[in-house]
Chain A
Amino acid sequence: MQALYAQLLVGLINGSFYALLSLGLAVIFGMLNIINFAHGALYMMGAFCAYFLLTYGGIGYWWALIIAPIAVGIFGIILERTMLQWLSGLDHVYGLLLTFGIALIVQGIFQNYFGSSGLPYSIPDELRGGVNLGFMFLPIYRGWVVIFSLVVCLATWYLIERTRLGANLRAATENPTLVRAFGINVPRMITLTYGLGVGLAALAGVLSAPINQVRPLMGADLIIVVFAVVVIGGMGSIMGSIITGFTLGVVEGLTKYFYPEASNTVVFVLMVLVLLVKPTGLTGRTA
Chain B
Amino acid sequence: MTKSITAFLLGTALALAATTGASAQDKTVKIGVLTDNSGLYADLGGPGSTLAAQMAIEDSGLAAKGWKVDLVSADHQNKPDVGTTIARQWIDVEKVDIFMDVLNSGVALAVNNLVKEKNVILIDTGAATSDLTNAQCTPNTVHWVYDTYMLANSTGQALVKAGGDTWYFLTADYAFGHALERDTAAVVVKSGGKVIGTVRHPLNTADFSSFLLQAQASKAKIVGMANAGGDTTNTIKQAAEFGIVSGGQKLAGLLLFVTDVHSLGLKVAQGLNFTETFYWDLNDGTRAFSKRFSERMKNKAMPSMVQAGVYSGLLHYFKALEALGGNPHDGARVVAKMKEMPTDDPLFGKGSIRADGRKLHPAYLFEVKKPEESKGPWDYYKLIGTTPADQAFRPLAESACPLVKK
Contact residues in B for A136 (Cβ distance below 8 Å): 213
Of the stretches A157-165, A195-203, A255-263, the one at the interface is: A255-263
Contact residues in A for B61 (Cβ distance below 8 Å): none
Closest chain B residue to A3, Cβ basis: B217
Residues from 106 to 122 in A contacting B, C-beta threshold 8 Å: 111-112, 115-120, 122
**A115 with B43, Cβ < 8 A, contacts A120-B264, A123-B241 known:** yes
Q: How far is the CB of B367 from chain A (nearest CB, A)?
A: 20
Chain A proximity mask over B236-262: 1 for CB below 8 Å, otherwise 0: 011001110001000000000001100
Measured CB to CB, the residues of B under 8 A from A are 38-43, 173, 199-207, 209-211, 213-214, 216-217, 229-230, 233-234, 237-238, 241-243, 247, 259-260, 263-265, 267-268
Nearest 10 pairs between A and B by C-beta? Answer: A264-B202, A256-B210, A116-B40, A10-B209, A139-B241, A116-B39, A120-B265, A10-B210, A212-B206, A6-B213
Verify A211–B201 contact, CB threshold 8 A. no
A243 interfacial by beta-carbon distance below 8 Å: no
Verify A117–B238 contact, CB threshold 8 A. no
30 intermolecular pairs with C-beta atoms under 8 Å apart: A10-B213, A11-B210, A13-B209, A111-B38, A115-B43, A116-B39, A116-B230, A117-B43, A117-B230, A117-B233, A117-B263, A118-B230, A120-B263, A120-B265, A139-B241, A139-B242, A139-B243, A142-B209, A142-B241, A211-B207, A211-B237, A212-B234, A213-B230, A213-B263, A218-B206, A256-B201, A260-B199, A260-B210, A261-B202, A263-B210
Q: How far is the CB of A177 from chain B (nearest CB, A)?
A: 43
A14 interfacial by beta-carbon distance below 8 Å: yes
Bound-complex Cα distance A208 to B241 (A): 13
A125 interfacial by beta-carbon distance below 8 Å: no
Bound-complex Cα distance A112 to B37 (A): 10
Interface contacts (Cβ under 8 Å), in number, total 107
Bound-complex Cα distance A6 to B216 (A): 12
Contact residues in A for B268 (Cβ distance below 8 Å): 120, 122
Task: Number of A interface residues at 8 Å Cβ cutoff, please give it.
Answer: 39
Contact residues in A for B242 (Cβ distance below 8 Å): 130, 137, 139
Chain B proximity mask over A119-137: 1 for CB below 8 Å, otherwise 0: 1101100000010000011
**A119 with B230, Cβ < 8 A, contacts A130-B243, A212-B237 known:** no
A149 interfacial by beta-carbon distance below 8 Å: no
Q: How far is the CB of A162 from chain B (nearest CB, A)?
A: 32
A7 interfacial by beta-carbon distance below 8 Å: yes
A221 interfacial by beta-carbon distance below 8 Å: yes
